[in-house]
Amino acid sequence: MKNKQAGMFMRALASVCTKCTVCRTARRKQEGLAYSFVKNIEGCVCPFCMAYERVYGRKAHEPGGK
């Protein structure tokens, strides 16, 4: 994890995003309905996507390794 200051709670929220079917599809395919949905809601609605960005240092729809 890039951000060492992320607390246990924040990491727990981010782990939900890593297991989310919609977010995983968006990261893998980089196109389509799932990608558009995650790209548009992640920053303002979904607490899991916001935590993912904070912990891993990239948006929930951006591709990246584990």
Reading the chain (66 residues) residue by residue, the pLDDT tens digits are: 454 555 889 999 999 999 999 999 999 999 999 999 998 887 789 999 999 999 999 999 999 765
Please tell me what DSSP assigns to residue 31: S
Q: What pLDDT was estimated at residue 43?
A: 72
Q: What pLDDT was estimated at residue 20?
A: 94
Q: What pLDDT was estimated at residue 2?
A: 53
Q: What pLDDT was estimated at residue 44?
A: 84
Helix or strand or coil: residue 29? helix
Helix or strand or coil: residue 33? helix
